[in-house]
Structures are given as C-alpha cells and as structure tokens.
Amino acid sequence: MRISGKNMRFNLGDIRLSAQKFTLSITDNSAVSKTNGVPDGYVDGDVEASGEMELTTSQFNLLNKAAANAGAWRALPAFDAMGYGKIDKDELKVEMFGVRIKISDLLDVDSNGGSALVHKIPFDITSPDFIKINGTSYLRDDETEDLVS
C-alpha cells in the first residue's frame, strides 16, 4: 500500500483541514554556470514556493471563522502549515513556514449539481524557514543564516 491523497491531512496554524486538493510547488532558479558556452558548475538562484488548497464549504468556513476573529481575511497572519501522511512503511511530512493565504475562486457554481462546492485558496510561502521535507530543510543553513533567528 502507498500514500495517496486520501491519507494526507493538513494543518494551517492550529486549524486542521481536509482538502479536496492541495498543491505546493517550489521554484528554484539555480542555473548552470558556463565558460565559453561549456558548463563549469552552477550558481545559486532565488527560490520561491506557492500552492493552492481546494476546500469544501465546511472546511472553508473554518478559515472564515479565523478571518472573522482576525477582523478580515487580509488581516490573517501568515501561518505555519503541515501536510502529513503515513501508511504502512511510507511517511511524508511537509512543513511550510509563513503561509500567506488569499482567495481566488470564492464561487464556482454549477447548477447541475453532482459535486460539492469548492473554494480555491492560493498561498505563498513568506518565511526564510521556507520548507522542510521529512525534517530536512530545502535551503542550506548558509542561505538563511542572517535571515532566520
């Protein structure tokens, strides 16, 4: 048996969410260094990460409650988040730091029905702690030493 989307659970701060779909993408702009058109090593590039959650209305309302407590959606602080799945011998833990959420598709209604209403919540990673995969940081210590306290 392998980990599937059914095995993954997500925490956004202290809010436990079940997502219909959850994506996280890392953009690493490191590049090959060349001399006279010939590869001779590499240079570090900038990094960024972003993703999107698709939530049913009941799960979306958990975030809306947090937004109401903060005074507005845009008043929500950046959260630390985690995706975790474990089955038999396979385990995956992805920690995301400084998750800043927005709303993109608040309503996407099909009057024919047949599926639950889904709300899309894009997010960006805003902390230099960035991302850890099974406890291993994506970034090297020297890349964040003056940024992380």
Q: Could you read off the pLDDT of 31-51 as tens digits, one per residue?
A: 999 999 999 999 999 999 999
> Average pLDDT of the chain?
93
Give the span between the Cα atoms of 147 and 97, in whole angstroms. 13
Write the single-letter amino acid at 99: V
Q: pLDDT at position 7, please?
A: 83
Q: For residue range 51-75, list pLDDT tens digits in order.
A: 999 999 999 999 999 999 999 999 9
pTM confidence score: 0.89
Closest alpha carbon to 81 in 23, 22, 13, 138? 13
Contacts of residue 40, Cβ cutoff 8 Å, sequence gap at least 6: 33, 34
Mean pLDDT of 106-122: 86
> What residues form DSSP beta bridges with 26?
49
Nearest to 19 by CA among 9, 7, 28, 29: 9
State both tokens at 57.
Answer: 């209305």
Can you list the alpha helix ranges (DSSP code H) found in the chain?
57-70, 141-144
- pLDDT, residue 148, reads 65
Q: What is the pLDDT of residue 114?
A: 78
Pairing of strands 118-125, 90-101: antiparallel
What single letter denotes the amino acid at residue 44? D
Confidence of residue 149 (pLDDT cuts 50, 70, 90): low
Rounded Cα distance between 75 and 119, Å, is 19
